[in-house]
Structure 1
Amino acid sequence: MADHSSPGDGSVLVAIFVLLIIAGLVVRYIWWVVGAAALAGVVYLCVVLTRKAEERRLRDEKLAAEREFERARLAERQHRWTMIGDSRAVYGEKSSAPTADITGTDSAPDTDEPIATLAATKAELDALIRDRPQGWEQALFASILMQRAAPLASRLRDSELGYTEAGASGLMSAGELASTVVHMLDEMMRTIQQLDRFMMAPAFMAAFTAPDDVDEDGADPEAIAHIAHRVMDYHERLLELSERCRGISAPAYYDDILADCARMLDAPLRSYREFIDEFAAVIRALPRVLPHASGPVDLGSLGLYISIDNTLHSRILRRLDEITAPRRA
């Protein structure tokens, strides 16, 4: 059998001596050790607090910018209502439906140049393109939006109300529901981003101010009609997304998630409704406004502004985390 060596007494004494030296150093410099540890803790705490303060500052700046943008948007809308003689400029947005004239008269100076009005039929659209009255470009765009939205009125109302059909026979599990809802919210965000890029493309506004060799009035009616239809194609995508959400069949315990999801997916549709209504109000006011104008009329910025409720979005994600979290035994 092989022999196994064991440490001698000298080795043991050396080890004990070294330990005593280390212990003595620790005792002697204990406050230095404690101070270094405390300093490291303070530095770490400062880094964490600084990072959180920076995150809070960026969040506050973002919220302030959003509030400022909303104030500017509302101010421009108020200016536009005043310019077109909308009663809401005086009595407020929720006081009543928009009316024709806050001055008590719809009369306008006589003018030989015709002014565009909204077209309700294809024949009227063709007449707009053929006759080219004042403001025909904007009237053509708004008319197509309204004609495309009109057949969807019942479906849009269901979305606004959060109406759901009778549930299907199969019920989604928590994991399936979470995956489906996250996918739909992501699809909504992606569609909104695509719409934003589409409307910000140079060719979008160029359709209204094309070179003179395209049309004597400087606009391309085919391009205007094309972009109007494409804007409404995005609208129908968002509506179908809302309907898919409201068609999900899941246990009653998840009803709050589905209700919040439906509310969030209806937000872009509400923005569309506001945009189309505002645009149509401007076109209806043209016969009252343009005869008095001696030059370009500034009615403010009229855009399709889609805002996302971040609080609602966060609440949905928290609930999805809750229902998919592993249960403790």
Structure 2
Amino acid sequence: MTQFDAISTANLVPTPELVERLIEEKPRCWSWAAFVSVLFQRWAAVEERKVRQVLGARSPTGPHLNTGHAVKEFVSRHMRDCDDLTKQCHALLADPSFRDAFGAPDDESTADAAGIVRAANRVGDFYVRFLELAEECQRCSVPEQYTEFMDDCTRWMNLPLHDFGEFLNDVLMAFEELQRRVALGERYIRLDPVSLPMTTDDQLIWSIMDRLRAIN
């Protein structure tokens, strides 16, 4: 096959309306193009907030936690929520129904457009909630002796935001590989499973846990 025989494939699109058109027209790779497009649209919609969150300083405009007990309850709840979100996101991406939504490897006509968009939006919802949890940590007001502790908690809550950026890069690379292989004429293509990477900072988390236990 020469370069002039290459098969055209779907590309990412920047708006929900163009996703709908993509689904209607169904060019090659449309299913993954729709998934990645929705993900990037959801990511782009809150990118300014994410940048402010990651690069900004503490801005105690949220609730005031007056006591050590209130600080402990707040941090414990947010860490549980973050852990639950991570598990839910992993479960979604590992569920066979997620892969099934993209149809058979050699027959994209069997893909479920509504299921693909729904899955992408669910992942987008997880990302927005990760961001909200981190913002809540950064905005809460605490007694002076807990300021450094809350700064560390905010650093911990920011980690999933970085992980999600890595996930987007992984998904984009997988999509580009799919485009390349389809353009070369391959028909039976099964992509490797996508998963949310997890950044671990053992020193940070154990420091947070030790200080949590020390709060009466």
The residue matched to 1:240 in structure 2 has which SS?
helix
Residue 179 of structure 1: aligned partner: 73
Residue 239 of structure 1: aligned partner: 131
2:115 pairs with 205, 223, 226, which one? 223
**Distance in 2 between residues matched to 1:209 and 1:113, nearest whole Å:** 20
Residue 57 of structure 2: aligned partner: 163
Residue 47 of structure 2: aligned partner: 153
Q: Does 1:305 align with 2:211?
A: no
**Distance in 2 between residues matched to 1:290 and 1:204, nearest whole Å:** 21
Cα deviation, residue 286, structure 1: 5.3
Q: 1:230 to 1:110 in 2, by over 3 A?
A: same
Cα deviation, residue 173, structure 1: 1.5
Counterparts of 1:1-329 in structure 2, within 5 Å, are 109-111=3-5, 113-167=7-61, 170-209=64-103, 217-284=109-176, 288-296=180-188, 300-322=192-214, 324-325=215-216
The answer to whether the Cα contact below 8 Å between 2:94 and 2:195 also exists between their aligned partners in 1 is no
Gaps spanning 5+ residues in structure 2: where? none
Cα deviation, residue 200, structure 1: 2.1
The residue matched to 2:111 in structure 1 has which SS?
coil
Per-residue displacement from partner, 1:273-298 (whole Å, max 9, x unpaired)?
A: 11112323443565555323545457
**Distance in 1 between residues matched to 2:156 and 2:57, nearest whole Å:** 14
Cα deviation, residue 133, structure 1: 1.5
**Distance in 2 between residues matched to 1:205 and 1:283, nearest whole Å:** 14
**Distance in 2 between residues matched to 1:287 and 1:194, nearest whole Å:** 29
**Distance in 1 between residues matched to 2:111 and 2:57, nearest whole Å:** 42
**Distance in 1 between residues matched to 2:186 and 2:212, nearest whole Å:** 58
**Distance in 1 between residues matched to 2:67 and 2:150, nearest whole Å:** 13
**Distance in 1 between residues matched to 2:85 and 2:173, nearest whole Å:** 27
**Distance in 1 between residues matched to 2:180 and 2:94, nearest whole Å:** 30
Q: 1:222 to 1:111 in 2, by over 3 A?
A: farther
The residue matched to 1:217 in structure 2 has which SS?
helix
**Distance in 2 between residues matched to 1:125 and 1:229, nearest whole Å:** 13
The answer to whether the Cα contact below 8 Å between 2:166 and 2:197 also exists between their aligned partners in 1 is no
**Distance in 1 between residues matched to 2:205 and 2:119, nearest whole Å:** 30
Q: Cα RMSD (Å) of the superposition?
A: 2.7
The answer to whether the Cα contact below 8 Å between 2:90 and 2:195 also exists between their aligned partners in 1 is no
Cα deviation, residue 255, structure 1: 2.1
Tell me which amino acid in the other structure corresponds to 1:242.
A
The residue matched to 1:120 in structure 2 has which SS?
coil
The answer to whether the Cα contact below 8 Å between 1:116 and 1:286 also exists between their aligned partners in 2 is no
Q: 1:111 to 1:165 in 2, by over 3 A?
A: farther
The residue matched to 2:86 in structure 1 has which SS?
helix
The answer to whether the Cα contact below 8 Å between 2:33 and 2:175 also exists between their aligned partners in 1 is yes
Tell me which amino acid in the other structure corresponds to 2:167.
F
The residue matched to 2:13 in structure 1 has which SS?
coil
Cα deviation, residue 308, structure 1: 3.7
**Distance in 1 between residues matched to 2:179 and 2:63, nearest whole Å:** 55
Q: 1:279 to 1:169 in 2, by over 3 A?
A: closer
Q: 1:170 to 1:226 in 2, by over 3 A?
A: closer
Larger mean CA deviation between 261-270 and 195-204 belongs to: 195-204
Number of equivalenced pairs: 215
The residue matched to 2:46 in structure 1 has which SS?
helix
Q: 1:283 to 1:217 in 2, by over 3 A?
A: same
* Rg larger in structure: 1
Cα deviation, residue 119, structure 1: 0.9
Per-residue displacement from partner, 1:128-182 (whole Å, max 9, x unpaired)?
A: 1122112111111000001111110111112222533244684522221112111
Per-residue displacement from partner, 1:184-235 (whole Å, max 9, x unpaired)?
A: 111111121122222222221111126x9xx971201111001111111111
**Distance in 1 between residues matched to 2:85 and 2:67, nearest whole Å:** 27
